[in-house]
Amino acid sequence: MPKASELKRGHVVELNGNNYVVQHIDVRNPTSRGANTLYKIRFSKLPDGGKHEVTFSGDDVVKSVALERRRVSYLYREDDLLTFMDLEDYNQYSLNASTIEDQAAFLSDGLEGIMALLIDGQIVTVELPSSVVLEVRECVPGMQSASATGRTKPAILANGLEIQVPEYIKQGEMVKINTETGKFMARA
């Protein structure tokens, strides 16, 4: 059983008889002497996706859940259901988009490197690769000598996601995006 200080984004734990996946961790270091570091953790309930927040001290122990991990690729979205295919046995799994609402924006047809987390053969969440490469569909033209500046401009990617990119990025270029922060990393 992990301590609260050992939890990371994507871990699945059991609280009050329900399964939750860690979405965000806010670490707070109180300034008074002898005070414990606090971990404010935002969870998403599995499998239906309700939000839940709990504050733990660093030594609090949480119960982890036995999971099966399977490599999958993203196939398509139909209404609110996302469909993934197992890369070993070609089984298909459907997941409600609200369960992974923060990550769903990074999905594109055929995306591989995704890890599906299953409990009793049912998909409950996915772990995306740390970065994805997407095409810039729309952006305003950049300035000619903009590479020496740190200014950014909005760009709309092939999957509809809008991010800030450096001024030198042009329409049609492939860019690498961090899936945890949603920020531009580099040209691809």
State pLDDT tens for residues 38-72: 889 888 887 666 788 888 887 888 888 888 889 99
Considering the domain architecture, whether residues 123 and 175 belong to the same structural domain is answered as no
CATH number at residue 89: 2.40.50.140
Query: In this prediction, what percent of the chain has a pLDDT beyond 70?
Result: 92
Considering the domain architecture, whether residues 85 and 137 belong to the same structural domain is answered as no
Residue-wise burial string across 140-159, b where 16 or more C-beta atoms lie within 10 A, e elsewhere? eebeeeeeeeeeebebebeb
Considering the domain architecture, whether residues 86 and 117 belong to the same structural domain is answered as yes
pLDDT tens-digit profile of 147-185? 556 788 999 998 888 999 988 888 999 999 998 888 999
pLDDT tens-digit profile of 83-98? 999 999 999 999 888 7
**Last residue of a domain, which of 92, 111, 127?**
127
Residue with structure tokens 């609260």? 4
**CA atoms of 87 and 116, how far apart (whole Å):** 11
Considering the domain architecture, whether residues 149 and 100 belong to the same structural domain is answered as no
Considering the domain architecture, whether residues 40 and 14 belong to the same structural domain is answered as yes
**Last residue of a domain, which of 64, 82, 98?**
64
Considering the domain architecture, whether residues 57 and 79 belong to the same structural domain is answered as no
- What is the structure's pLDDT at 92? 92
CA 7 to chain centre: 15
**Last residue of a domain, which of 43, 64, 85?**
64
| pTM given for the model | 0.71
**CA atoms of 1 and 66, how far apart (whole Å):** 11
Structural domain count, the chain:
3
Sort residue 52 into left (φ over 0), alpha (ψ -120 to 50) or beta. Answer: beta
- What is the structure's pLDDT at 138? 92
**CA atoms of 9 and 42, how far apart (whole Å):** 10
Strands (E), the chain: 12-15, 18-28, 38-45, 51-57, 63-64, 68-78, 81-86, 92-96, 114-119, 122-127, 131-139, 152-157, 162-166, 174-178, 184-187
Average pLDDT value for residue range 102-111 = 82
Considering the domain architecture, whether residues 101 and 75 belong to the same structural domain is answered as yes
Considering the domain architecture, whether residues 49 and 96 belong to the same structural domain is answered as no
The number of beta carbons lying within 10 Å of the beta carbon of residue 111 is 19
The domain in which residue 55 lies consists of 4-64
